[in-house]
Amino acid sequence: MIVQLNYKGTDYTTDLTKGLDISIPFEAGEGHVLAWYLGPMKIEPVRMGDWVGEVKSGAAVNFKNIMFNPHAHGTHTESPGHISPELISINKELNEFFCFAHLISITPEVVDGDQIITLKSLQSGLNELSDAIIIRTIPNLPGKLSTNYSNTNPPYLEAAAAAWLRDNGVKHLLIDLPSVDKEEDGGMLLAHHAFWNYPDQPRLNATISEFIFVPDTIPDGFYFENDAAPSRPLLFELKMV
């Protein structure tokens, strides 16, 4: 399905049947991506006495319980409710599902032993901002799909960079790391707070998506993006008319 779009006075077309998946699926068992000191996701058949809820065990249907944590087991999209005492439902606040996006590849800088995506590196790699910014960190190794990030102090986003994106109207931030913030920061979550402008004037319809994976076959550039939660963000290639 080919659609025509206009962005800042320029016409583009995109094929909505050819989405580029940048999500990491939620999968049970060992060997899958993991963070925040939790064990693997679990999918288990319901058991009631001698009855086991799976067809291979003799049941008429597969009837299973799923236990997972969105922040630890795969690609997920967060609202300010992630850091607020009150419930802020992403399903209620996120009311746009397609937007224009820029994909940028960045090598984190080493600062005081941490790997940080700095404001300087973000600004130098972006010649234009759009509704969504997608950050692919370099090196972009296949191990991102199966790494247990717990106790590894992964790279993270400088709070000033998150604030700059906020101040320039970026609504959606997607990143291929467990968090935009440092693994152990005493609960400050500076980048989360800065991007959502919380608690001063919270941007309730702004989102952060973490644990994405952008294959090397997808070049940096301008895309049309779709998002949900627990999320499977898709990119659609844009062609100028």
% of the chain surpassing 90 pLDDT: 88
% of the chain surpassing 70 pLDDT: 99
- For domain 2-25+76-240, give the CATH superfamily: Putative cyclase (3.50.30.50)
Residues across the chain: 241
Predicted local distance difference test score (pLDDT) of residue 90: 85
> Tens digit of pLDDT for each residue in 154-200?
999 999 999 999 999 999 999 999 999 999 999 999 999 999 999 99
Mean pLDDT computed over every residue of the chain:
94
CATH 3.50.30.50 region(s) of the chain? 2-25+76-240
Whether the pTM exceeds 0.95: the reply is no
> Tens digit of pLDDT for each residue in 87-112?
888 888 888 889 999 999 999 999 99
> Tens digit of pLDDT for each residue in 5-46?
999 899 999 999 999 999 999 999 999 999 999 999 999 999
State the alpha helices, DSSP H only, in 188-237.
Answer: 190-196
Contact 26, 68 (CB under 8 A): yes
Distance CA 233, CA 22 (A): 6
pLDDT at 228 over 60: no
